[in-house]
Amino acid sequence: MKAVFAKATTLCLALSLLAPAAHAQRVSKVTGTTLGKMCSSDKVTGTSLCDAYLAGIMDSEVWSKKYDTYKDDAGAPVAFCVPTSETAPQIRSKVVSWLHSHNDALTQPAGKAAYRALHDTYACQANAEGMK
Protein backbone atom coordinates (compact mmCIF):
# COMPACT_ATOMS: atom_id res chain seq x y z
CA MET A 1 0.00 0.00 0.00
CA LYS A 2 2.88 2.35 0.79
CA ALA A 3 4.33 1.69 -2.66
CA VAL A 4 1.04 2.62 -4.34
CA PHE A 5 0.84 5.81 -2.27
CA ALA A 6 4.43 6.67 -3.15
CA LYS A 7 3.76 6.11 -6.86
CA ALA A 8 0.56 8.17 -6.73
CA THR A 9 2.41 10.97 -4.93
CA THR A 10 5.20 10.88 -7.50
CA LEU A 11 2.67 11.04 -10.34
CA CYS A 12 0.88 13.99 -8.74
CA LEU A 13 4.14 15.84 -8.24
CA ALA A 14 5.21 15.15 -11.82
CA LEU A 15 1.87 16.34 -13.18
CA SER A 16 2.04 19.49 -11.06
CA LEU A 17 5.28 20.46 -12.83
CA LEU A 18 3.35 20.51 -16.11
CA ALA A 19 0.77 22.97 -14.77
CA PRO A 20 0.70 26.49 -16.18
CA ALA A 21 0.84 29.62 -14.03
CA ALA A 22 -1.60 29.72 -11.11
CA HIS A 23 -5.26 30.37 -11.87
CA ALA A 24 -8.27 30.92 -9.67
CA GLN A 25 -9.16 27.23 -10.04
CA ARG A 26 -6.56 24.62 -10.91
CA VAL A 27 -7.63 21.91 -13.31
CA SER A 28 -5.40 18.93 -14.02
CA LYS A 29 -4.00 18.45 -17.52
CA VAL A 30 -4.78 14.72 -17.34
CA THR A 31 -7.33 13.99 -20.09
CA GLY A 32 -10.17 11.50 -20.23
CA THR A 33 -8.06 9.47 -22.67
CA THR A 34 -5.22 9.27 -20.13
CA LEU A 35 -7.67 8.32 -17.38
CA GLY A 36 -9.20 5.63 -19.59
CA LYS A 37 -5.77 4.16 -20.41
CA MET A 38 -4.71 4.25 -16.77
CA CYS A 39 -7.93 2.56 -15.63
CA SER A 40 -7.75 -0.05 -18.43
CA SER A 41 -4.08 -0.87 -17.87
CA ASP A 42 -2.95 -4.47 -17.59
CA LYS A 43 -0.41 -3.34 -15.00
CA VAL A 44 -1.21 -3.13 -11.30
CA THR A 45 0.49 0.28 -11.14
CA GLY A 46 -1.93 1.75 -13.69
CA THR A 47 -5.06 0.41 -12.06
CA SER A 48 -3.79 1.38 -8.61
CA LEU A 49 -3.26 4.95 -9.80
CA CYS A 50 -6.73 4.90 -11.35
CA ASP A 51 -8.25 3.65 -8.10
CA ALA A 52 -6.43 6.38 -6.16
CA TYR A 53 -7.55 9.06 -8.63
CA LEU A 54 -11.21 7.97 -8.45
CA ALA A 55 -11.04 7.61 -4.66
CA GLY A 56 -9.78 11.19 -4.44
CA ILE A 57 -12.67 12.47 -6.51
CA MET A 58 -15.19 10.48 -4.47
CA ASP A 59 -13.66 11.62 -1.19
CA SER A 60 -13.71 15.24 -2.30
CA GLU A 61 -17.43 15.03 -3.06
CA VAL A 62 -18.22 13.35 0.25
CA TRP A 63 -16.15 15.74 2.32
CA SER A 64 -17.24 18.88 0.48
CA LYS A 65 -20.83 17.84 1.21
CA LYS A 66 -19.99 17.36 4.86
CA TYR A 67 -18.06 20.58 5.35
CA ASP A 68 -19.58 23.10 2.98
CA THR A 69 -22.12 25.72 3.91
CA TYR A 70 -24.89 23.17 3.48
CA LYS A 71 -23.51 20.79 6.09
CA ASP A 72 -26.72 20.99 8.13
CA ASP A 73 -29.00 20.79 5.08
CA ALA A 74 -29.96 17.17 4.39
CA GLY A 75 -31.50 18.29 1.10
CA ALA A 76 -28.28 19.83 -0.24
CA PRO A 77 -27.37 18.51 -3.69
CA VAL A 78 -24.78 15.76 -4.01
CA ALA A 79 -23.17 15.02 -7.37
CA PHE A 80 -22.97 11.25 -6.93
CA CYS A 81 -23.50 8.59 -4.28
CA VAL A 82 -21.24 5.55 -4.47
CA PRO A 83 -22.54 2.73 -2.25
CA THR A 84 -20.16 1.69 0.51
CA SER A 85 -20.37 -1.89 -0.80
CA GLU A 86 -18.88 -0.92 -4.19
CA THR A 87 -15.25 -2.02 -4.61
CA ALA A 88 -12.51 -0.05 -6.37
CA PRO A 89 -12.35 -2.57 -9.27
CA GLN A 90 -16.15 -2.31 -9.72
CA ILE A 91 -15.99 1.49 -9.76
CA ARG A 92 -13.05 1.42 -12.17
CA SER A 93 -14.86 -0.97 -14.51
CA LYS A 94 -17.98 1.20 -14.59
CA VAL A 95 -15.96 4.38 -15.22
CA VAL A 96 -14.08 2.69 -18.08
CA SER A 97 -17.37 1.46 -19.59
CA TRP A 98 -18.81 4.96 -19.30
CA LEU A 99 -15.72 6.47 -20.97
CA HIS A 100 -16.04 3.99 -23.86
CA SER A 101 -19.58 5.19 -24.52
CA HIS A 102 -18.86 8.93 -24.11
CA ASN A 103 -16.18 9.88 -26.63
CA ASP A 104 -16.69 13.58 -25.89
CA ALA A 105 -15.25 13.02 -22.41
CA LEU A 106 -11.96 11.73 -23.78
CA THR A 107 -10.71 15.22 -24.63
CA GLN A 108 -11.94 16.76 -21.38
CA PRO A 109 -9.84 17.09 -18.23
CA ALA A 110 -9.78 13.71 -16.47
CA GLY A 111 -11.39 15.20 -13.37
CA LYS A 112 -14.38 16.36 -15.38
CA ALA A 113 -14.61 13.05 -17.24
CA ALA A 114 -14.44 11.03 -14.01
CA TYR A 115 -16.90 13.38 -12.29
CA ARG A 116 -19.37 12.97 -15.16
CA ALA A 117 -18.91 9.19 -15.18
CA LEU A 118 -19.46 8.94 -11.43
CA HIS A 119 -22.46 11.30 -11.61
CA ASP A 120 -24.12 9.30 -14.38
CA THR A 121 -23.25 5.89 -12.95
CA TYR A 122 -23.96 6.55 -9.29
CA ALA A 123 -26.92 8.90 -9.26
CA CYS A 124 -28.14 9.66 -5.75
CA GLN A 125 -31.53 8.36 -4.71
CA ALA A 126 -33.92 10.47 -2.65
CA ASN A 127 -33.31 8.32 0.42
CA ALA A 128 -29.95 6.70 -0.28
CA GLU A 129 -28.72 4.22 2.30
CA GLY A 130 -25.12 3.18 2.77
CA MET A 131 -23.75 6.50 1.53
CA LYS A 132 -22.61 7.88 4.87
Task: Give residue-wise pLDDT tens across range 80-113.
Answer: 888 889 999 999 999 999 999 999 999 988 888 9
Closest CA to 14 of 1, 31, 28, 33: 28
Domains of the chain: 30-121 (1.10.890)
More confident residue, 128 or 52: 52
Q: Residues 30-43, buried b or exposed e (16+ Cβ, 10 A)?
A: bbbbbbbebbbeee
Name the pTM for this structure.
0.60
